[in-house]
Structure 1
Amino acid sequence: MEQNVGGFDRTARLVGGPIVALVGILALLQFVPVGTAVGAALLAVGLVVFGTGVTQFCLLHRLLGINTCQR
């Protein structure tokens, strides 16, 4: 896989992903009153965003022809 996530994009994913996942976990534990489905969705999105930051590869970026990785 060719890396296509870098710079500020990667930093935002590495910081924002866990925050979104944490809100999802809190929603699933009913500390945030948004519902179980929203909590599960937030957890999934947060994990995917964090994963794309770690691997530096985003399938959506590839499909759209976006490359923020400077080499």
Structure 2
Amino acid sequence: MKANVGTIDRVLRILVGVLLIALTLTGIIGLWGWIGLVPLATGVVRFCPLYPLLGISTCKR
């Protein structure tokens, strides 16, 4: 896996993921908030499996 998620993209993914999970744990939103695991995971590992299919890379390397 080659990194394809840049710094700003990574930070936003992690923030959105944590926010969705926190909202789910506090009961503000329903179980669909666990979808926050996806952006959190892709932000942590710096790889989005959808990006190569679309020919996108936000990573400068």
Q: TM-score, normalised by structure 1?
A: 0.75
Unaligned runs of 5+ in 1: none
* Pairing 1:7–2:4 present: no
Q: Give structure 1 regions of 4+ aligned residues with deviation exceeding 3 angstroms.
A: none
Which residue of the partner structure matches residue 18 of structure 2? 18
Work out the percentage of aligned pairs sharing the same amino acid. Answer: 41
For 1:12 and 1:69, the matched residues in 2 are separated by: 14
Which residue of the partner structure matches residue 41 of structure 2? 51
Shift of 1:46: 0.8
Q: TM-score, normalised by structure 2?
A: 0.85
Q: Which structure: larger Rg?
A: 1
Unaligned runs of 5+ in 2: none
For 2:32 and 2:52, the matched residues in 1 are separated by: 23
For 1:21 and 1:7, the matched residues in 2 are separated by: 21
Shift of 1:40: 1.8
For 1:25 and 1:18, the matched residues in 2 are separated by: 10
**Equivalenced residues, count:** 61
